[in-house]
Structures are given as structure tokens and as C-alpha cells.
Amino acid sequence: MSAADSLHELRDALRVFAAEREWDRFHTPKNLAMALAGEAGEVIEHFQWLSPEESAALQPEQRAEVALELADVLLYLVRLADVLDIDLADAARRKIDVNAARYPGDKSRGRSDKYDRL
Amino acid sequence: MSAADSLHELRDALRVFAAEREWDRFHTPKNLAMALAGEAGEVIEHFQWLSPEESAALQPEQRAEVALELADVLLYLVRLADVLDIDLADAARRKIDVNAARYPGDKSRGRSDKYDRL
Amino acid sequence: MSAADSLHELRDALRVFAAEREWDRFHTPKNLAMALAGEAGEVIEHFQWLSPEESAALQPEQRAEVALELADVLLYLVRLADVLDIDLADAARRKIDVNAARYPGDKSRGRSDKYDRL
Amino acid sequence: MSAADSLHELRDALRVFAAEREWDRFHTPKNLAMALAGEAGEVIEHFQWLSPEESAALQPEQRAEVALELADVLLYLVRLADVLDIDLADAARRKIDVNAARYPGDKSRGRSDKYDRL
């Protein structure tokens, strides 16, 4: 794949990938939502017995494994958005605006009780 | 946020967002992995009682809700990759190449038994 | 382990198991909640590409694998409740009563829109 | 529900509950696996911003909320096992035996690297 980091380009690449393998029939939103959750579960398994400090100091090998797990989450997420005809980049921008209004910088500073979203 | 759909720009926007609120202390990889899994769980709840066909024909209101849930997943995913110093776009490209080698088009066509990754 | 199917006996067996291995230090509620979610993710991976009908007709080998995954979920769930000093059997009975009041039989019959809890 | 803490009694109670509401049609293994993962995601959301120490010292109100979330996980788990005709108590006993063989007390003591299962 080319060096772009665009969500739209990633979406297009995955469309071609699925079409070439005739996998569209398996790519219902229900199935892709399950795949997304399954991959998120694999991410969490890397961190479950680590202290917060250890989680921030992974060994190179484990960090490389986690990178590919995060990629799996992203690929299913992009594909799920696509089959639902949701513009993921647009939704992310809108969600950041929602969060900015919900958590004003001066009132949310350093408070975890004000914190349940990015 | 601007109209770009770049993962790097999204990463940068979230860095600023967290810094302005002094939330970096909460953004350990362990905590962000949990947040990611929690949001994936919210996505799945939208689809759990729907048939595969119903999941592909959401009403506009539910589709709009799902869009924001997918955004939540993306925001935590981008933030998690950032605090781990993982280039998410690069990892996604590498994972697509891995998958292309693992599932050659001619041998994987239309077979769900050959199918456990994108 | 003996043949009882009691949640309290299971809790006690897991207490001994953890103590013998000096694993209590790893068994914080935070860590066990992660382990629970990770195992739930493994369960879901067994079903993600199956149709609802296929999911109800597993081959014996896959059914045996799923059985051990369900056991993993149960073991972490029982252990998590224990370290939180929550009586899981009591909570389950209370939740069934809550659900019975929330979904009266005559009004909820056969309606998935009335359905988001057991 | 009566005061028993038996998994078999819980299974039987949930069977009646689903039958009275004609919910069996929604209770495919695929759907129940999703519901299980969704509830596990709700559990994790309670703990994601807490330190391990804070997670072990919940306030009474949050502890009561978590108790009902754990109950939700248990109810879906028991129901999922039932529709798959899996004896959950038996599977749990077998898994404990597997774990005991895999993690002998003298070699696993206090080592998180030997630790990825109960």
C-alpha cells in the first residue's frame, strides 16, 4: 500500500481487498462489529497483567505485536464504517468538537471525574 | 477540526486536546486499551439483537449514534498508538501486506474458512 | 475440583488457587476486569463469521473449544466479584428480579425492541 | 428467585424467563456472545480511569452498580452456555484442572510472566 495516511485511502484499499476475495458477503455490520470487538479484546490481553507504568514501557517485541493488533482494530473499524456508509474521518472531527464543548479546558484540567471521554 | 482525514493530523489534534486538559496522566497505554475495549463494547451493543440483514439497514437515528461510537473507537485507538509511539498508518499498511500474503485472492475467494482476518 | 455447581464453591476454589501461586497481587479489580473482557473477546471470535444459524450448530471440536472459553469468562468473573467482595449469586438473583419488573411477560412477548437485557 | 447459588438453577430460571417472553428466537449463540461482550465492556468502563489501587476501593454506590454489571455478564454467560448445550459448571471444573497442570504452584509462584490464565 502507498505511504498515505488517509482514512479514505485506507477505506478504498480495504474495499478492493474484500472485493478481490469475494468477502463482501461476510462483511455485514453485525459481523464486522464482532470482529472489531474481538480485536479490541486482543489488544487488552497485552496489557492486563501490566502495571500502568509497565504498560508504558513495552519491550520492542511486544510493542511490535501490539502495533499489528492496533492495525487490526483500525482495519475492521474502517471497513465497518464503510459498509455502514459512515464517513469515519468526519465522525471523528464531529466527536472531537462534541468533546471540546463537553470538557472545557479550564474546568476539566487534571480531573479524572470530569473524564470519561477523549 | 480541519477537514483533513489524516491519521497523523488526528493524532496531533488529540495530543493538544489531552495536553490542554492535563489528561496525559490518565492516558497510560493500560487505561487507553481499556477505553478502547469499552467503546468497542458500545458498538457491539447496537448490533447484538439485529439480524445480519437488519444490521445493514439501520434507521438514520441509530446510524448517527453508531457513527459517534465508531468515532470514539478511532479517537482512543489513535491516542493509544500515540502514547505507545506506534505509527498507526504505517502499522495498518504493514498489516494489509501481511494479510495479502496470507490470503491470496485465488485461494481465499468466497471462503469463510479461509477468513479470519481482513 | 468436586462436582458441585455452586458459585460459592467455585469462588473458594479460585481463592485457594490464587493464594497457592501468590497471584493475589495481580488480581486487582482493574486487572481482572481486563482479563474478563479479553476472554469475552475470545468467545466472540468463535462466532463472528458464522450466520446465526451456523452459530447454533457448532461442530463438536469447536463446541469443546467454546466450552473452555466460557469457563475462562466464568473463572475471571467469579474471581473479580470475589476481590470486590460482591456476592455474585445474590447479584444475579437481584438482577433477574429487576429484569422481570422491567420486561413484564405480557408486554415484552416476542419483541426485540423491548429487549436489551435478559 | 430462590436463594440457591447453583449454576444449574440459574440456567433453569433463565430458560423460563426467556420462554415466557418468547425471546428464544433472539437467543442465538451469535447474539448472546455479542451481548456477553457488550456487558464485559460495561464492566471495564467502570475501571478504566482508576488506578489499580482505586479499583480495589470503590465507593458503595459504584460497587453496587458494578455488582449488577457482573450479574449481567453472568446471566448472558449462563444463557449462552445453555443454548450451546454446554454444562458451564463442568467446563469450569475442567478448566481449573487444566490450569492447575499448566501452572504448578511451585513454578508459578508470584510470577506474572507465568501468568496468563487463572
pLDDT in tens, D7-38: 999 999 999 999 999 999 999 999 999 999 99
Residue D86 clears pLDDT 60, i.e. is over it: yes
Nearest CA-CA partner of B42 in B81, B80, B72, B76: B72
pTM for the structure as a whole: 0.93
Q: If DSSP codes are grouped into helix, strand and coil, which group holds residue B91?
A: helix
Residue with the larger pLDDT of the pair C2 and C85: C85
% of chain A residues with pLDDT over 90: 83
d(CA C78, CA A10): 42
Between chains, do D97 and C1 touch, taking CB under 8 Å as contact?
yes
Contacts of C49 in chain B (CB under 8 A): 112, 115-116
- Chain center to CA of B33: 12
Nearest to B40 among A31, A36, A103 (CB): A36
**Chains touching B by CB (3 or more pairs below 8 Å):** A, C, D
Question: Average pLDDT, stretch C69-98?
Answer: 97
Residue with the three cell numbers 488517509: A6
Nearest to C112 among B44, B49, B116 (CB): B49
Residue A2 clears pLDDT 50, i.e. is over it: no
**Residue C2: pLDDT band by 50, 70, 90 thresholds?**
very low
Q: How far is D47 from chain B (nearest CA, A)?
A: 8
**Residue D81: pLDDT band by 50, 70, 90 thresholds?**
very high
Question: Average pLDDT, stretch A42-70?
Answer: 97
Contacts of D116 (CB under 8 A, 6+ apart): A45, A49
Q: At what angle do helices A29-47 and B29-47 cross, to 10 degrees?
A: 160
Residues forming beta bridges with residue B6, ordered by sequence position? A6
Query: Quick one: three-class SS letters along D38-76?
Result: HHHHHHHHHHCCCCHHHHCCCCHHHHHHHHHHHHHHHHH
d(CA C55, CA D83): 10
Q: How far is B34 from chain C (nearest CA, A)?
A: 7
Q: Which residue of B has its CA nearest to D33?
A: B48
Residue C90 clears pLDDT 50, i.e. is over it: yes
Q: How far is D49 from chain B (nearest CA, A)?
A: 6
Nearest to B115 among C34, C49, C115 (CB): C49
Structure confidence at residue B109 (pLDDT): 78
Q: Which residue of D has its CA nearest to A118?
A: D49
- Chain center to CA of A66: 13
d(CA D55, CA A106): 27
Q: If DSSP codes are grouped into helix, strand and coil, which group holds residue C90?
A: helix
% of chain D residues with pLDDT over 70: 89
Nearest to C70 among D1, D23, D81 (CB): D81
Residue D89 clears pLDDT 50, i.e. is over it: yes
Mark the ranges of chain B whose per-residue pLDDT is less than 70: 1-4, 112-118
User: All domains of chain A, ordered by start, with CATH?
Assistant: 3-102 (1.10.287.1080)
Structure confidence at residue B90 (pLDDT): 94
Nearest CA-CA partner of D17 in B104, B8, C103: C103
Between chains, do A29 and B115 touch, taking CB under 8 Å as contact?
no
Residue A116 clears pLDDT 90, i.e. is over it: no
Provide the grid cell at A95: 466527536
Between chains, do B63 and A84 touch, taking CB under 8 Å as contact?
yes
Residue with the three cell numbers 470530569: A114
Q: Which residue of C has its CA nearest to A40?
A: C41
- Mutation target for D interface from A26, A28, A34, A47: give the one with most D CBs within 10 A: A34
Provide the grid cell at D57: 476501593
Q: How far is A62 from chain C (nearest CA, A)?
A: 17
Q: Which residue intervals of C21-87 are DSSP H helices?
A: 29-47, 52-55, 60-83
Q: What is the average pLDDT value for chain A, to the nearest integer?
A: 91
Structure confidence at residue B113 (pLDDT): 59
Q: How far is C93 from chain D (nearest CA, A)?
A: 6
Q: Which residue of C has its CA nearest to A23?
A: C49
Question: Average pLDDT, stretch D50-60?
Answer: 97
Structure confidence at residue D17 (pLDDT): 95
Contacts of A30 in chain D (CB under 8 A): 34
Contacts of A21 in chain B (CB under 8 A): 103, 105, 108-110, 115
CA-based Rg of chain D, rounded to a whole angstrom?
Answer: 17
Contacts of D40 in chain B (CB under 8 A): 41
Question: Average pLDDT, stretch C5-22?
Answer: 94
Nearest to D37 among B26, B41, B49 (CB): B41
Between chains, do C34 and D44 touch, taking CB under 8 Å as contact?
yes
C35-53 pLDDT per residue, tens: 999 999 999 999 999 999 9
Contacts of B46 in chain A (CB under 8 A): 33
Contacts of C115 in chain B (CB under 8 A): 49
- Mutation target for A interface from B6, B8, B21: give the one with most A CBs within 10 A: B21
% of chain D residues with pLDDT over 90: 83
Provide the grid cell at C89: 449469586
Question: Average pLDDT, stretch A31-44?
Answer: 98
Question: Average pLDDT, stretch D44-72?
Answer: 97
Nearest CA-CA partner of B5 in D101, A35, A89, C19: A89
